[in-house]
Amino acid sequence: MAEKKKTAPKAPAKKAAPSAAKKVSEVKVEIKPEVKVEVKEVKPAPAPKAPAPAPAPKKKDGKMKVLFVAGEANPFIKTGGLADVAGALPRALVEKGIDARVMIPLYLGIPQEMKNNMQYLGNCFVQLSWRSQYCGVFSYVYQGVTYYFIDNEFYFKRHGIYGHYDDGERFAFFSKAILESLKIIDFKPDIIHANDWHTALVPVFLDCFYRGDEYCKDAQTVYTIHNIEFQGQYGDGLIEDILGLNYDQSQLVRYAGCVNYMKGGIESAARVTTVSPSYANEILDPYYGYGMQDILNARKFKLSGIINGIDEEKNNPATDQSLFKNYDINSLENKKFNKVGLQQLLGLPVNEDVPMIGMVGRLTHQKGIDLVTAVMDRILDMDVQVVILGTGDWKYENILKDMQNRYPGKLRAIINFSSDMASKIYAASDMFLMPSKFEPCGLSQMIAMRYASVPIVRLTGGLKDTVMAYNHETGEGDGFTFLTYNASDMLYAIERAVGLYRDYKDEWKKVVENGMKKDFSWSTIAKQYIDLYKGI
């Protein structure tokens, strides 16, 4: 692998792009919902003849080699939990003796400071049907993990990382570029771990075009679904025009009259995982499966759920630089300075005793914002303050801004993406509201527990697997829960939490401590992924 800095040839930019990159913490990422295509109930097509299974991985130096490929990764670029996972799981794998590396696109939004320190490794051209597209490869070592970046200014030198008209082409390019660039990085992975629809085509392209390639002929594939709602669905014109698949190969990605990248990943990967055991079960059902339930039921033998962890170094109230005052389980009395600091910063009445309810997340139907706005008046009837940070659907952003105007002394809606503000809210709040309609894993509730903010959640997916309802009799539990997707049930859970906070201070402390003591470390979880990789 080239270690010396060389001058990087630049791919021709088709559009002028602004130069200054922002700090990751300040990147405002617009999260646009994908165009949803109505999925007809169809039976899964019989799996096309797969190429002969690859032989068991050979590990010359004894280390298993894993290439983790994703649409985003912390600390370079982030829109949500996927970046957190791509920034933490590979490091945990490396700490366990796995040679894990990560590959993401070289987006405009990656901080310039990081780009300046990347090493150029080489370039090649990627064939997308009739197109031949430039692919540069850069590397950057962060906390012991090597990250690779695929450079093509036409596809990635743009504002916002998803939501472009040609996302289907952009991520087909990225998926093929990953396989094409293995020779440049001189890495023969035993496992390629693809994530979400952005890289779902990697196992497809591997089986269709690269099983004769010496760098990946032996590679096995794992495909992780972080959110089944976003599947990468496009018109089937893409098959010939971009993917370059023949009729037989195209059966892997055809579904319900269109091209579905996620379906291709599920069909082709040796193992399919999702980010919590409960969600792995839920997506077999039409309510949660977003049309993919029949495919998943047919491929259930290779489906499992592994809960995500959180980066306990990054999400640590004892060291987080964004806090007004750091604290840990032994100095919980310092948490109140964060509430007072945030109240002053946001112009809310300063009162360290008023219960503060925080929310950090995408403002979309998934996160249960409709429940919150439906009973906001009732929530604010109580003596509480509510602070919400998020971006998302225009409709919810506006409703929240309007409510903030009606309740200036009680509600703040910060329509922004800011890791600094997110930390401040986790630290300042006493309760963290996450009433999701569905939640593959959810990281925010775990971060909240670590910051001594008690989660109030709907029992679904990863929320069900990570939050245990507080039991007044036994003193066990670390949160408040409700089951049915219903605003009144959510309100009742909030009332119970506020009641305990106000009237039973000792019990409240116990709930807080139970949450803070929970083990959400990636170290434990990495072991489960290693077992999965070894079992293929």
Q: Point out which residues bind ligand ADP (CB under 6 A).
A: 80-81, 84, 360-362, 389-391, 417-419, 422, 441-444, 447
Give 332: exposed, middle or buried? Use CB within 10 Å, 0-12, 13-18, 19+: middle
Q: To which residue do tokens 């743009």 refer?
A: 158
Residue nearest to ligand ADP (CB): 81
Question: Least distance in Å: CB of 391 to ligand ADP?
Answer: 5
Residue 78 vs 176, nearer CB to ligand ADP: 78
Closest approach, Cβ 315 to ligand ADP, in A, equals: 8
Helix, strand, coil percent content, the chain, rounded in steps of 5: 40, 20, 45
In contact, 243 and 261? CB cutoff 8 Å? no
Query: Smallest gap, in angstroms, from Cβ of residue 157 to ligand ADP?
Result: 24
Pairwise CA distance, residues 27 & 371, whole Å: 28
Task: Please report, as a single letter, which amino acid is at residue 402.
Answer: D
- Using the minimum distance from each CB to ligand ADP, give the nearer residue, 85 or 98: 85
What tokens were used for 379?
């929530």
| Cis ω for the linkage preceding 75 (within 30 of 0) | yes
Of 156, 150, 146, the closest CA to residue 102 belongs to 146
Q: How far is the CB of 87 from ligand ADP (least distance, A)?
A: 10
Q: Residues 6 or more apart from 67 whose CB is under 8 A from it?
A: 100, 101, 102, 103, 178, 182, 187, 189, 191, 192, 193, 219
Q: Please state the closest distance from residue 492 (CB atom) to ligand ADP, in A.
A: 23
Of the two residues 184 and 389, which places its CB atom closer to ligand ADP in the complex? 389
Q: Are 216 and 179 in contact (CB under 8 A)?
A: yes
DSSP H helices, 134-166, are 153-156
Residue 389 CB, nearest distance to ligand ADP (Å)?
5
Nearer to ligand ADP, 151 or 229 (CB): 229
Do 352 and 340 touch, CB atoms closer than 8 A?
yes
Angle at which helix 167-180 crosses helix 201-209, to 10 degrees, equals: 50
* DSSP bridge partners of 123: 136
Are 198 and 174 a contacting pair, CB within 8 Å?
A: yes
- CB closer to ligand ADP out of 244 and 358: 358
| Closer Cβ to ligand ADP, 29 or 376, answer by number | 29
Q: How far is the CB of 398 from ligand ADP (least distance, A)?
A: 16
Q: How far is the CB of 360 from ligand ADP (least distance, A)?
A: 5
The smaller minimum CB distance to ligand ADP, of residues 217 and 518, is found at: 518
How would you class 61 by CB atoms within 10 Å of its CB: exposed for 0-12, middle for 13-18, buried for 19 or more? exposed
Contact status, residue 258 vs residue 229, Cβ threshold 8 Å: no
* Residues 228, 284 contacting (CB under 8 angstroms): no
Q: How far is the CB of 104 from ligand ADP (least distance, A)?
A: 16
Is the CB of 254 or the CB of 464 nearer to ligand ADP? 464
Instruction: Tell the smallest beta-carbon distance from residue 423 to ligand ADP (Å).
Output: 8
3-state SS class at 122: strand
